[in-house]
Amino acid sequence: MEQTHLVITVYVQPNSKKPGLAGHYRNFPKIKLASAPKDNEANEELILFISELLTIPKRDIIITSGEKSRIKSLILLHYPKKLLPKELHSL
């Protein structure tokens, strides 16, 4: 199986009581996080969440834009698009 780098864009809602996938917001997959958006906590939780969801190492997930925004772009290193869950497909 050919591996490739994949870029996804997601909408993040921090300070949520029920973390997890939550549909879409403005055509972006929406991910609710329990952490507050301070001291990089929400970004770290997002990387952990994506890592566990896709069973890839955290070191293979990089936030490329939106570190201080709710809309974030991430690059998934060595990850083929065909394995991406449909909930995370950017529209």
Residue 88 confidence class, pLDDT cut points 50, 70, 90: low
Task: Supply the pLDDT for residue 89.
Answer: 58
Q: Which long-range contacts (CB under 8 A, 24 or more apart) does 77-85 make?
A: 77/5, 78/3, 78/4, 78/5, 79/3, 79/4, 79/5, 79/6, 79/54, 80/1, 80/2, 80/3, 80/4, 80/6, 81/4, 81/6, 83/54, 84/6, 84/8, 84/54, 85/53, 85/54
pLDDT single digits (tens) 5-45: 888 999 999 999 999 999 999 999 999 999 999 999 999 99
